[in-house]
Chains A and B, each alone.
Chain A
Amino acid sequence: MHDVTLIVNGVPRHARVPARRLLSDFLRHDLGLTGTHVGCEHGVCGACTVLLDGRPVRACLTFAVSVSGQEVTTVEGLARDGELSPVQRAFAECHGLQCGFCTPGFLTTVTAFLRENPAPADDEAIEAVAGNLCRCTGYQNIVKSVHRAAELMAEEGP
């Protein structure tokens, strides 16, 4: 058993877990942050994407013990002071989700992407979400959401 402490959404969180505990299970079952979803368990679908020190990673391919001490942002940490982030609002506004199961992975991925590229061209927006599977939306409104989020961020400033 190993002591794992992560800064999750700005708060230090600790649990004692076996070495094989995946980061996805650690977040969901040890910390109770169930917003991060697991769709394929082998890094293909992207539903479990979280931000590790600001960069998107597959939580289902990461051992919790291997990232002890690092900062993790999950979908629960995207809103600020109770207000949904521009990316979250854009997905709701553009009907960029249906069942919502894959959505947390898109939201974290797009959040990191727009920090690097705040005004993406269409092919860049498509490329940004090309590693995440969605079975409901057909993606059209997800791409629209990426552009809308960029607009909202530009309007609202940093």
Chain B
Amino acid sequence: MTTRLFGEPVRRREDARLVAGNGRYLDDLGADALAVAFVRSPHAHARITGVDVDDAIDVEGLVAIYTWEDLPEGVREPLPLLIPHPALTHGRTAYCLAKDVVRHVGEPIVMVVAADRYVAEDVCERIRVSYEFLKPVVGLENAVEGPNLVHDDVPGNIGAHMVQEVAHRDGRATRDVIAAAPHTLEFRLDIERSACMPMEGKGVYARWDADDRSLRVYSSTQTSTSVRMAIAAKLGLPLPKVEVIAPDVGGGFGVKIVHPWPEEILVPWAARLLGREVKWTEDRREHFVSSAHERAQVQHVKVGFDDEGRVLGLDVEILHDHGAYTPYGIIVPIITSTQLLGPYKIGSYRVEFFSVYTNTVQVTPYRGAGRPQGVFCMERTMDKIAQYLGKDRTDVRAVNFIQPDEFPYDQQMIFQDGRPLIYDSGDYPESLRKLKDLIGWDDFPAMQAEAAAEGRRIGIGVGCYVEGTGVGPYEGGHVQVTSDGRVHVSTGLTSQGQGHETVFAQIAATELGVPIEKVSVVTGDTRRFGYAVGTFASRAAVMSGNAIALACRKVKEKALRIAADALEADPADLEITDGMVHVVGAPSASIPLATVAVLSNPLRYAFDEEAKRATQFATGGGMDRPPVAEGQEPGLEGKDYYSPVRSTFASGMHAAIVETDPDTAEIKILRYAVVHDCGKMINPMLVEGQIHGGVAQGVGGALYEKMVYDEYGQLLNASFMDFLMPYVTEIPRIETDHLETPSPLNPLGIKGAGEAGVIPVSAVVAGAVEDAEKIVIDRMPISPSDLYALRDSSRTSGAVSLLRNTQ
């Protein structure tokens, strides 16, 4: 490879269009489309007794009003349960429009199509829905203990129950190991709800072509291929008659991987029915109450350990709030259960979860996808062990680390992809060493004492994680070199700001030896690539990146073979530099890749000068051979797929120094340090960007963001004014260092980087606040008023707030 672009901080190819205001997001399309608005339930749990549209039908500009009764077969059935699992014994999904019962505030009941959104909302205001109220179920423990049910046929509101246990190597059960351990601790942890909150909400725009009997749908989705299949199935259309395109997408962070959303079925259905272009653009309040949230869990932990802090047994019981429906299955609590183990060798491990219904918005993966909860549990456990034994928190972690010579390391569990949880590579001791250097861990006690002398409270925290990335089953890539020398790359998965157009072009340019300016990349357009899974689980670079590399290698092999013929050389002696195929060490014996593309496609017709060179009287060659040799295809293109045997495991460690105000209990992050290992980096600038953004969302989750539901199931803070996402003033400067432990599992040696930044932040900040305040922090996020209340209660209870040697 002579064109070194892989690994370089190449500037993004997306940006010229985006900074000029020439991005094309969902609502930027379909200027003449009809607009959709929904009447959504204002109640958390109610039976619908009537829908009265009398006052609405005279509104000028109204086109159609639909309720569940109006929906045809296919559209009127419950939405699919995307990821079934044997432990999900009581999975339930919603209808596109509510049938009989609504189970959370925001559930769609009536669909209105009108000339524009203003008119559609006027109509919605005039539609009267009558309800018979049912008792709402709010709060995890109320759900499990209370008498009220979210779904009549789901006893105890328990959708799923799952136990996984990895016994001690001597065969003893985890609970026996803990009972016999020299030291034990037992505690409870709480994590609040948060949500992805991309700056652009969801949206769907559909065009029915009556002449062609085909449907084109644009959706702000993380998986256009799967949305396409769902639409074709639900509307009873042949798959080739449906195309789905993810245009520029204004952030996803997980919520847009769920599909089909009701609107992704209803909008195309209405477009076909009405023979008109139809568009729905989600507004911010709709996004709060009718998309998805994540994070809420209650964890009960028991741990047994030895004098060195080695964990001998860990027993975790998790209550997981999945909201009113389970369209995405139980992926989140499965990931919590498995990724909880982090970089550690835990002697024996038992994890049990109950995934529980409440009358709140459904819970589906949000960046980190269950890992922040698992890491919070494990890292709080490590801190408590250190506190109890009077040891340095990093020493306790180090004594539990998997060592570099122990890879591949089998955690003996089943991961979220249904495959064994085997870590492929990593160097955790080196990561910790780098992190301690970066943050100045060993110098901190002196700094803390100095601050204390000035009446200031500062504390330091640390958190480690391992992240399974690049989950299967597969992604594909298609690469075509055209006779003008341009390279056209496509892959089926979608982009939401990660910079795929740039990194995939870097890979293709490097593999093919062409200038990056010649390469263009298309993602998420089923017209270009029909087979894909989607963008989630930090998988895009690993999956599509490798697939594109493999496709490029096929193209290169073909190009060298054709060029070898033309140059009368051995293909093994050829290489491609700057778009020229040439003999190694003899640049003059060369042929442009563009010409190879011409020669790869024998022509009868000369439509331009280049094409003339490939016509049948221009090419010589053996008269006893067919122009396209047996087993070959015309054209210089290639397609390949990458399907890994299992996930590849990235890792990282964060540390933070915080200051708490002795009077106001305000919490300020003074420094934030990240050491990150995602294998070989394709573009370090973009990896850093992913980390910055992830940490910022983590800081939001640690200090500010929560979904505040009242006892009636009303979301009290469903706006950006009340749901506190961090501005620039809340985010510290993030200091980063990298480690590159290549993955042995894929040709490029890469691991995913998308979610990493967010994962350990709550654990790190909790540890730092605890260190500053000497008060146990077991519940996140923590606001100044929470901390103030904790100070009060720890004073009045007179309890020694930390755990040291209480047993």
Q: Please give, as numbers and ranges, the residues of chain B lying within 8 Å of A137 by CB-CB distance.
A: 689, 692-693, 696
Q: Please give, as numbers and ranges, the residues of chain A lying within 8 Å of B693 by CB-CB distance.
A: 98, 135-138
Q: Is the CB of B728 within 8 A of A37?
A: no
Q: Please give, as numbers and ranges, the residues of chain A lying within 8 Å of B253 by CB-CB distance.
A: 135
Whether A95 touches B251, Cβ cut-off 8 Å, given contacts A28-B27, A88-B19, A130-B727, is no
Could you give, for residues 189-213 of chain B, a 1 whenever the CB lies within 8 Å of some chain A CB and a 0 otherwise? Answer: 0000000011110000000000000
In the complex formed, the residue of A with least CB distance to B9 is: A95
Q: Does B395 contact A (CB under 8 A)?
A: no
Q: Report how far A53 CA is from B152 CA in the complex, Å.
A: 60
Whether A99 touches B696, Cβ cut-off 8 Å, given contacts A42-B719, A44-B721, A130-B727, is no
Q: Does A54 contact B (CB under 8 A)?
A: no
Whether A44 touches B720, Cβ cut-off 8 Å, given contacts A37-B25, A88-B19, A139-B731, is yes
Q: Does A93 contact B (CB under 8 A)?
A: yes
Within 8 A of A (CB), among B716-763: 719-721, 725, 727-729, 731, 733-734, 757
Q: Which one of A36, A47, A91, A134 lies within 8 Å of B15 (CB-CB)?
A: A91
In the complex formed, the residue of B with least CB distance to A38 is: B27
Q: Which one of A45, A99, A126 lies within 8 Å of B728 (CB-CB)?
A: A126
Q: Is the CB of B20 within 8 A of A79?
A: yes
Within 8 A of A (CB), among B689-709: 689, 691-697
Interface size on A, residues (CB 8 A): 57
Q: Is the CB of A45 within 8 A of B498?
A: no
Q: Please give, as numbers and ranges, the residues of chain A lying within 8 Å of B728 by CB-CB distance.
A: 126, 129-130, 132, 139, 142-143
Q: Is the CB of A101 within 8 A of B725?
A: no
Q: Report how far A29 CA is from B696 CA in the complex, Å.
A: 33
Q: Is the CB of A138 within 8 A of B692?
A: yes
Q: Is the CB of B31 within 8 A of A140?
A: no
Q: Please give, as numbers and ranges, the residues of chain A lying within 8 Å of B463 by CB-CB distance.
A: none
Q: Is the CB of B731 within 8 A of A75?
A: no
Q: Is the CB of A140 within 8 A of B727?
A: no
A48 to nearest B CB, angstroms?
11
Q: Is the CB of A35 within 8 A of B22?
A: yes
Q: Please give, as numbers and ranges, the residues of chain B lying within 8 Å of A38 by CB-CB distance.
A: 27
A153 to nearest B CB, angstroms?
16
Could you give, for residues 663-707 of chain B, a 1 whenever the CB lies within 8 Å of some chain A CB and a 0 otherwise? Answer: 000000000000000000000011011011111110000000000
Q: Is the CB of B692 within 8 A of A141?
A: yes
A21 to nearest B CB, angstroms?
8
Q: Does B570 contact A (CB under 8 A)?
A: no
Q: Is the CB of B116 within 8 A of A29?
A: yes
Could you give, for residues 394-435 of chain B, a 1 whenever the CB lies within 8 Å of some chain A CB and a 0 otherwise? Answer: 000000000000000000000000000000000000000000
Q: Is the CB of B23 within 8 A of A100?
A: yes
Whether A97 touches B15, Cβ cut-off 8 Å, given contacts A40-B720, A138-B695, is yes
Q: Which one of B21, B199, B691 lies within 8 Å of A99 (CB-CB)?
A: B199
Q: Does B308 contact A (CB under 8 A)?
A: no
Q: Is the CB of B731 within 8 A of A138?
A: yes
Q: Is the CB of A76 within 8 A of B20?
A: yes
A86 to nearest B CB, angstroms?
11
Q: Report how far A93 CA is from B18 CA in the complex, Å.
A: 13
Q: Which one of B116, B250, B731, B733 lies within 8 Å of A100 (CB-CB)?
A: B250
Q: Does B16 contact A (CB under 8 A)?
A: yes
Q: Does B14 contact A (CB under 8 A)?
A: yes
Could you give, for residues 14-43 of chain A, a 1 whenever the CB lies within 8 Å of some chain B CB and a 0 otherwise? Answer: 000010110000001100111111111110
Q: Please give, as numbers and ranges, the residues of chain A lying within 8 Å of B19 by CB-CB distance.
A: 75, 84, 88-89, 91-92, 97, 100, 103, 107
Q: Which one of B12, B23, B697, B757 lies within 8 Å of A92 (CB-CB)?
A: B12
B394 to nearest A CB, angstroms?
25
B279 to nearest A CB, angstroms?
11
In the complex formed, the residue of B with least CB distance to A91 is: B19
Q: Is the CB of A99 within 8 A of B251?
A: yes
Q: Does B283 contact A (CB under 8 A)?
A: yes
Q: Report how far A103 CA is from B200 CA in the complex, Å.
A: 12
Q: Which of A34, A45, A99 has the most CB of B within 10 A?
A: A99
Q: Is the CB of A20 within 8 A of B727?
A: no
In the complex formed, the residue of A with least CB distance to B686 is: A95
Q: Is the CB of B12 within 8 A of A101?
A: no
Q: Report how far A97 CA is from B511 CA in the complex, Å.
A: 27
Within 8 A of B (CB), among A60-82: 74-76, 78-79
Q: Is the CB of A20 within 8 A of B118?
A: yes
B690 to nearest A CB, angstroms?
8
The secondary structure that dominates the B interface is loop
Q: Which one of A97, A99, A134, A140 lies within 8 Å of B249 (CB-CB)?
A: A99
Q: Does B499 contact A (CB under 8 A)?
A: yes
Q: Please give, as numbers and ranges, the residues of chain A lying within 8 Å of B719 by CB-CB distance.
A: 40, 42, 44
Q: Does A6 contact B (CB under 8 A)?
A: no
Q: Which one of B15, B692, B727 lies within 8 Å of A133 (CB-CB)?
A: B727
In the complex formed, the residue of B with least CB distance to A99 is: B497
Q: Which one of B11, B16, B20 lies within 8 Å of A35 (CB-CB)?
A: B20
Q: Which one of A97, A98, A101 lies within 8 Å of B25 (CB-CB)?
A: A101
Q: Please give, as numbers and ranges, the residues of chain A lying within 8 Å of B499 by CB-CB distance.
A: 98
Whether A99 touches B12, Cβ cut-off 8 Å, given contacts A32-B31, A79-B20, A138-B695, is no
Q: Please give, as numbers and ranges, the residues of chain A lying within 8 Å of B757 by CB-CB distance.
A: 138
Could you give, for residues 280-291 of chain B, a 1 whenever the CB lies within 8 Å of some chain A CB and a 0 otherwise? Answer: 000110000000
In the complex formed, the residue of B with least CB distance to A105 is: B199
Q: Is the CB of B28 within 8 A of A34?
A: yes
Q: Does A131 contact B (CB under 8 A)?
A: yes
Could you give, for residues 147-174 of chain B, a 1 whenever the CB lies within 8 Å of some chain A CB and a 0 otherwise? Answer: 0000000000000000000000000000
Q: Report how far A131 CA is from B403 CA in the complex, Å.
A: 46
Q: Does B637 contact A (CB under 8 A)?
A: no
Q: Is the CB of A100 within 8 A of B18?
A: yes
Within 8 A of A (CB), among B1-41: 11-12, 14-16, 18-25, 27-28, 31
Q: Does B248 contact A (CB under 8 A)?
A: yes
Q: Please give, as numbers and ranges, the residues of chain A lying within 8 Å of B28 by CB-CB distance.
A: 28, 34
Whether A35 touches B21, Cβ cut-off 8 Å, given contacts A95-B689, A101-B251, is yes
Q: Report how far A8 CA is from B423 CA in the complex, Å.
A: 57
Q: Does A51 contact B (CB under 8 A)?
A: no
Q: Does B483 contact A (CB under 8 A)?
A: no
A133 to nearest B CB, angstroms?
6
Q: Report how far A1 CA is from B575 CA in the complex, Å.
A: 68
Q: Does A56 contact B (CB under 8 A)?
A: no
Q: Is the CB of B197 within 8 A of A18?
A: no
In the complex formed, the residue of A with least CB distance to B685 is: A95
Q: Is the CB of B118 within 8 A of A102?
A: no
Q: Please give, as numbers and ranges, the residues of chain A lying within 8 Å of B248 by CB-CB distance.
A: 99-100
Q: Which of B24, B251, B496 has the most CB of A within 10 A?
A: B251
In the complex formed, the residue of A with least CB distance to B694 is: A138
Q: Is the CB of B199 within 8 A of A45?
A: yes
Q: Please give, as numbers and ranges, the residues of chain A lying within 8 Å of B11 by CB-CB distance.
A: 92-93, 95
Q: Is the CB of A102 within 8 A of B16?
A: no
Whether A126 touches B729, Cβ cut-off 8 Å, given contacts A91-B19, A141-B689, is yes
Q: Please give, as numbers and ranges, the residues of chain B lying within 8 Å of A29 by CB-CB distance.
A: 31, 116
A89 to nearest B CB, angstroms?
8
A54 to nearest B CB, angstroms?
18
Q: Please give, as numbers and ranges, the residues of chain B lying within 8 Å of A98 by CB-CB distance.
A: 251, 497-499, 689, 693
Q: Which of B16, B250, B691, B757 has the most CB of A within 10 A?
A: B250
Q: Report how far A42 CA is from B284 CA in the complex, Å.
A: 9
Q: Please give, as numbers and ranges, the residues of chain A lying within 8 Å of B199 by CB-CB distance.
A: 37, 39, 45, 47, 99, 101-102, 133-136
Known: A35-B20, A99-B251, A101-B497. 4 other contacts (CB 8 A): A44-B719, A93-B11, A98-B498, A101-B198
Interface residues, chain B, with chain A CB atoms under 8 Å away: 11-12, 14-16, 18-25, 27-28, 31, 116, 118, 197-200, 248-251, 253, 283-284, 496-499, 685-686, 688-689, 691-697, 719-721, 725, 727-729, 731, 733-734, 757
List 10 interface pairs A-B (beta carbons < 8 Å), by A numbering: A18-B118, A29-B116, A34-B24, A45-B199, A95-B685, A98-B693, A99-B251, A100-B23, A126-B728, A138-B695
The 3 closest A-B pairs by CB, nearest first: A35-B21, A99-B497, A101-B250
Interface residues, chain A, with chain B CB atoms under 8 Å away: 18, 20-21, 28-29, 32-42, 44-45, 47, 74-76, 78-79, 84, 88-89, 91-93, 95, 97-104, 107, 126-127, 129-143
